[in-house]
Chains A and B, each alone.
Chain A
Amino acid sequence: MYQYDAIDQEIVDARVEEYRDQVARRLSGALTEEEFRPLRLMNGLYLQLHGYMLRVAIPYGTLSSRQLRALAEISRRYDKGYGHFTTRQNIQFNWPKLVETPDLLADLAKVEMHAIQTSGNCIRNVTTDPFAGAAADEVEDPRITCEIIRQWSTLHPEFAFLPRKFKIAVTASPHDRAAIAVHDIGVRVVDDPEEGPGFEIWAGGGQGRAAYLAALVRRFLPRARLLSYLEAIMRVYNRYGRRDNKYKARIKILVNSMGAEAFTEEVEREWQQILAEEAPVDVPQGEWDRVGAFFDLELPPAQEAEADDTHPGFARWRDVNVVPHRRAVYANVVISLKPRGGIPGDASASQMEGVAELADRFGQSEIRVTHQQNLVLPHVRRRDLSALHRALVELDLATANLDQASDIIACPGMDYCTLANARSIPIAQSISARFDESREAEIGKLNIKISGCINACGHHHVGHIGILGIDKRGEESYQLAIGGSHDENAALAKVLGRAISAEEVPAAIDAIIEVWMGHRLEGETLPRTVQRVGLVPFKEKVYGFVHA
């Protein structure tokens, strides 16, 4: 994985001192809360219901075992002994004290970590495929592109005060595991038979209040021109994105109000002007090679034999949580952070240390965070799978439910967040507790996603079943939508009907599943069934009658 050089370290260390200075000026009263707010957000510090929350960047979701141990230690020293992994492959600490946050960041900097641009109206942490470098179907490791973008976007002087937040996702596979269609910019690494290495560029996707799928703005961009093209998109957005209404300020609104074609023309015009300037921002091939070398992992040889194991739970876990690796003798293991009836995405300090230990023992000392709030141990020898499973059982981390009904994404909701209209976590708990392995084996793959408000941090727009918490005359209520997905067949979920109470949600989920299982063709996902049969049979079952 990427390792800091002296320049990277200097920048992160200087950022810690800058932030320490900002906190001191806030505490002394030199900065008002209104002035401090955008500054603290640009360093990941939120003010939530019960206090501050710090969001730490995990660039493109890759952690070393050393870094994960440091996060565990930080969670003990500055928090309540646990952390919360997020849908943007980051980790959040919910209970730090403001005065201690500069020290927390200094501790992070010792292991090449930071909280730079994990919030605020700037370019956020770049996300990617959690199986990067280990997937069977990738063109190249997408983290090379991510790291180039990370450096370019870090403390970018022109794009630190954008109209709104800005999220870039990168995939390098035909099967999109990075959800590029619902990002401000989506980058697909391609190797064109005629044009060579480069990118497909998408823009204007996003979730939030109004969800949009991104438009294709360039079918092929040569690799050498990535940064100048991103600069062109950012500049068009910075100049013309709305600033009068924060709910209309995302690039998706600009793209859709201009029209994708006019937006693209504007970007292309700006790009041509950039290319005509002296020294455009583009990086030379040598820099791609330098960064690429960090991700060039030589895997030790492994034997073919796969250990057979009959101990309880292993077979189902292997079938569900183990994902093919680019080499047949290896595997990628998903460690579920979704215990049935538990809080999605939480991990205790001892679990983090345990996973770090397993990454050293069975993997390549590397861990990934997925945008579905789970962890991945890449590069595990298949013959070690049973021993790894036993070790995960000891850590309470062997839940076999990847992409199953209980593998629920949920935002923090009203338990933590000041924006939320309703609770998310207890809804996730009440749903996931209803499904056991045998029921999930009958059902098959199913993604349920829950947001506690229309800002959609729980990605409900792209859930097979999306649940949105709303405030209905002072009551927490939940609106159901079905048929969403975030892969290469991305689709937005359609609302079923009137919102229901928290108590009614589990039965409604059962009803949706029952209708799907009754109508589905062989191998058909819920979104496909919804596309084919429409909403009516689902409405009938959930509400007992069809709404107008």
Chain B
Amino acid sequence: MALFTPEGLVEDQAIRVDDEAPLPKEGLVMVSVARWFDAAKEEPGRIRGLVLRTDDPVDGLPPDLDRIEFEVERFTDGRVFTQARLLRRRHGFRGVISVTGPFLPDQAAHLFRCGVDAIVVPDDVDPEPWARTVARFPRYYQSAARGVGVRI
């Protein structure tokens, strides 16, 4: 998989590990919240990212992770926008926020404006429609966790 970011497509280096699978020795290892609670005790430092669901709370997460990813089943599940917004602005998370799920290119600008850094897309994705929607609006009415164009 690749990542679509405001700067374009980049390689996704995450290694997502199932709850039952052994942890790799190195790399950007990402696990579920449940796994993190178990594994953090045994192998501190090995896990560098978490995969959250849209009904998971975003407060009380470890602050020094490199990445937090939201896994979304339906693109209409708008909870992820609030999660990203809170994680970035209220809880001050400084790592990468990514999302994975059946998102439409039309949602990219909203996601980025809520504080998301990267959207997981297939390797062979045509980035053109995604880039178009991000560049579409010269300004917005609201301030954003990322971006410009603030009026109020």
Contacts and interface: CB of A to CB of B under 8 A. Distances in A.
Interface of A: 7, 10-11, 14-15, 17-18, 21-22, 25, 30-31, 35, 38-39, 121, 148, 151-152, 154-163, 227, 235, 238-239, 243, 273, 277-279, 281, 283, 287
B141 A152 contact: yes
Given A25-B129, A157-B144, A238 B106 contact: no
Nearest to A30: B129
A161 B152 contact: no
Task: Kindly list the 8 A-B residue pairs having the minimum CB-CB distance in the complex, ordered from nearest.
Answer: A161-B78, A157-B113, A157-B110, A151-B141, A158-B81, A14-B137, A283-B152, A238-B82
Contact of A155 (B114, B129, B137, B138): B137
A121 B152 CA distance: 23
B77 to A, nearest CB: 6
B41 interface: no
Nearest to A283: B152
Contact of A152 (B104, B113, B144, B152): B152
Contact of A7 (B110, B133, B136, B139): B139
Contact of A243 (B77, B81, B104, B107): B77
A18 B106 contact: yes
B104 A161 contact: no
Given A152-B141, A163-B78, 12 more contacts: A11-B139, A35-B104, A121-B76, A157-B114, A159-B81, A160-B81, A238-B79, A238-B82, A239-B79, A277-B89, A281-B142, A283-B152
Contacts of A152: 141-142, 152
B76 A18 contact: no
Contacts of A155: 110, 137, 140-142
B142 A157 contact: yes
B25 interface: no
Contacts of A38: 76
B85 A158 contact: yes
B141 A239 contact: no
Nearest to B104: A35
A31 B75 CA distance: 13
Contact of B151 (A7, A17, A159, A161): A7
14 contacts: A10-B137, A11-B137, A11-B139, A25-B129, A39-B104, A152-B142, A154-B141, A157-B111, A158-B114, A161-B81, A239-B79, A243-B77, A278-B89, A287-B152
Interface residues of B, number: 32
Contacts of B139: 7, 10-11
Contact of A235 (B82, B104, B129, B140): B82
A483 to B, nearest CB: 37
Interface string B96-120: 0000000010110111011000000
A193 B143 CA distance: 33
A316 to B, nearest CB: 46
Contact of A161 (B77, B90, B113, B142): B77
Given A10-B138, A11-B141, A281-B143, A157 B151 contact: no
Nearest to B138: A10
A160 B143 CA distance: 15
A170 B56 CA distance: 34
Contact of B106 (A17, A22, A227, A281): A22
B49 to A, nearest CB: 23
A17 B135 CA distance: 12
A412 B133 CA distance: 35
B106 A39 contact: yes
Contacts of A31: 104
Contacts of A7: 139, 141, 151
A129 B29 CA distance: 57
A21 B132 contact: yes
Contacts of B133: 18, 21
B72 to A, nearest CB: 10
B81 A238 contact: yes
A161 B79 CA distance: 8
A267 to B, nearest CB: 14
Contacts of B111: 157
A225 B137 CA distance: 27
A545 B53 CA distance: 57
Contacts of A154: 141
A251 to B, nearest CB: 14
Given A38-B76, A157-B113, A157-B142, A281 B81 contact: no
A161 B129 contact: no
B89 A157 contact: no
B78 A162 contact: yes
Contacts of B79: 238-239, 243
A34 to B, nearest CB: 10
Contacts of A157: 81, 109-111, 113-114, 140, 142, 144
A38 to B, nearest CB: 6
A522 B96 CA distance: 70
Contacts of B138: 10, 14
Between B78, B81, B132, B138, the greatest number of chain A beta carbons within 10 A of the residue's beta carbon is seen for B78
Contacts of A156: 141-142
A283 B111 CA distance: 23
Contacts of B113: 157
Contacts of A159: 78, 81
A217 B56 CA distance: 27
B150 to A, nearest CB: 9
Contacts of A277: 89-90
A21 B130 CA distance: 12
A227 B111 CA distance: 21
B82 A11 contact: no
B145 to A, nearest CB: 9
Nearest to B152: A283
A239 B78 CA distance: 8
A161 B101 CA distance: 15
Contacts of B77: 161, 243
A157 B114 CA distance: 6
Contact of A273 (B90, B129, B137): B90
A15 B90 CA distance: 30
Nearest to A120: B76
